[in-house]
Amino acid sequence: MDGTSITLHDMQLIIFCFISLILNQAYGNSMAPSPTFTDLLSEKMQKDPFSLIAMCLFLGAIFHTFLTSKLSNIAKQMETNLGHASWKSSVLKLLGEVEIVFALWLIPLSLCFVYFKGWAATVHYFETRQYAEPIFVIAIMSVASSRPILKLAERTLRFIVNHCGGEKPSTWWICILTITPLLGSLITEPAAMTIAALLLSQRVFCYQAKPSFLYASLGLLFVNVSVGGVLTNFAAPPILMVASHWQWSSSFVFKKFGISAMLGIVCATLFYAILFYKQLKQLNKNAQQSTGTRAEESDVPSFITVCHILFLAWMVLNSHHIPLLIWGFLAFIVFTQLTSQTPVNVRNPMLVGCFLAGLVTHGGLQMWWIDSILSHLNEQLLFVGSVFLTSFNDNASITYLASLVSHFENNWTLQHAIVSGAVVGGGLTVIANAPNPAGQNLLSKFFPEASVKPLPLFLGALIPTCLMAIAFLL
């Protein structure tokens, strides 16, 4: 049995164990008589068979994400054997792109939707989805990954690095993984993820890092970015989804979540710094041996940098005003062209946006079973359940669904449990948090076979997730 087969088997085992635990506690240990999850499925099949089909297609898309690396490797091997690309390898390569998985599964979903509900209902459903977040991610990633913003972030971090141990990969690694995620509370999580991933690729990962260190760093990055945006009420999507409904101000969010987030980020990063001390030391040696090979780039004019900062601020301030966001993005593209800058790479932002749009479309049809599970859990199980559900459904979707549950109204204990679990579990998988696909897309080239496997990523993020859980529960 090869490594990929073991990975899939182990991941399936983890999923089934968690599902059994949560459902047993939610439905089997209730004091009052309540229908089991099986009864719920049976009732849904009789009343609305399409809902059950939509759930199966959603779970099928999730399982597909675990197969993408395998399909991509088969496509590459096929092209190597043939010496050229064939239609079969092209199809497999398409199926192996994790960013378009949920978009591909929209095809059978749409066909089933039309068959069961009709064309008018299908159009109405798609028109009522909120695609503000995918569009925002495309715009913010494009601006944040531009050379002027990256150079500004690099200069800021270099100033800190020079006062904390000098320009060494180990110092860069610590600063990137602690400071940049916290900046997500101001510039939003997608921007923080983009900047952190680009700096890691240029300052750390390029010095022949080992796979174990790569997966640990990526898992730590995902976890830190997921909780790093909770210092304000507008930057982290899980917070943004409930802040208005539950009347949370930025000061309230910082007091209840921000302090825990900063403590968790520092502790998790220092723990991994100690755990991977030898590998960080080896990266420093590798960097010394390759001194002078890294080409120095010319400085960016201050005028260009200021304009990019203004564009970034415009994107953040108008993140939920789509017309203004689109006009700002178009103006940014025109500005970069007229000022003869390096062309903006929109491929990665577009792929990530496609991923999120597909996730939003599928997620809107999962409310009936997620809501049923959440309403049956106490504080402790709600936290654990939120962490688990977040791993396989974007954390913003979890908190949004929670805001619709009347049981959570005016109940701070349950609100804290669901939101804390959502942000804590945002690093366990690629689909757990909206910015994660951006980080994976930018850093996957450094991993073996140029792909990030689900199980090593899960294990790499597991320890930081546990430390974050302790910080938030305390």
Q: Which two tokens stand for residue 163?
A: 């006062």
Q: In whole angstroms, give the CA distance from residue 225 to residue 219.
A: 10
Distance of alpha carbon 186 from the chain centroid:
18
C-alpha count within 13 angstroms, C-beta hemisphere, residue 397:
29
Angle, nearest 10°, between helix axes 436-443 and 189-203?
Answer: 20
pLDDT at 4: 36
pLDDT at 265: 97
8 Å CB contact between 464 and 268: yes
With respect to residue 174, please indicate whether it lies within any of the assigned structural domains.
yes
Instruction: Tell me the residue range of the domain where 304 lies.
Output: 130-288+298-474
In tens, the pLDDT along 156-198 reads: 888 888 888 778 899 999 999 999 999 888 887 888 898 899 8
Q: Which two tokens stand for residue 73?
A: 């490797």
Q: In this structure, which amino acid lies at residue 39?
A: D
Which pLDDT band holds residue 150 (cuts at 50, 70, 90)? confident
With respect to residue 393, please indicate whether it lies within any of the assigned structural domains.
yes
Q: In whole angstroms, give the CA distance from residue 4 to residue 6.
A: 5
8 Å CB contact between 315 and 328: yes
pLDDT at 298: 66
C-alpha count within 13 angstroms, C-beta hemisphere, residue 353:
18
Out of 139-153, 321-335, 384-398, the most confident range is 321-335
With respect to residue 24, please indicate whether it lies within any of the assigned structural domains.
no
Q: Which of 264, 220, 275, 237 is nearest to 458 (CA)?
A: 220
* Cα distances (angstroms) measured from residue 1 to each of 4, 6, 190: 8, 7, 38
8 Å CB contact between 133 and 237: yes
With respect to residue 114, please indicate whether it lies within any of the assigned structural domains.
no
Q: In this structure, which amino acid lies at residue 252?
A: F
8 Å CB contact between 134 and 357: yes
Compare 433 and 341 and report the one with higher pLDDT: 433
With respect to residue 77, please indicate whether it lies within any of the assigned structural domains.
no
With 80 as the cut, is the pLDDT of residue 30 above it? no
Which pLDDT band holds residue 456 (cuts at 50, 70, 90)? very high
Compare 307 and 10 and report the one with higher pLDDT: 307
Q: In whole angstroms, give the CA distance from residue 270 to residue 273.
A: 5
Q: Which of 138, 97, 131 is nearest to 347 (CA)?
A: 138
With respect to residue 215, please indicate whether it lies within any of the assigned structural domains.
yes
The secondary element (H helix, E strand) that includes residue 78 is helix 49-82
Domain count, the chain: 1
With respect to residue 217, please indicate whether it lies within any of the assigned structural domains.
yes
Residues, the chain: 474
Q: What is the Rg, in whole angstroms, of the alpha carbon atoms belonging to the chain?
A: 22
With respect to residue 243, please indicate whether it lies within any of the assigned structural domains.
yes
Q: In whole angstroms, give the CA distance from residue 317 to residue 326.
A: 13
In tens, the pLDDT along 209-258 reads: 899 999 999 999 999 999 998 998 877 878 877 887 798 988 999 999 99
Q: What is the dihedral of CA 95, 98, 100, 101, to 10 degrees?
A: 70
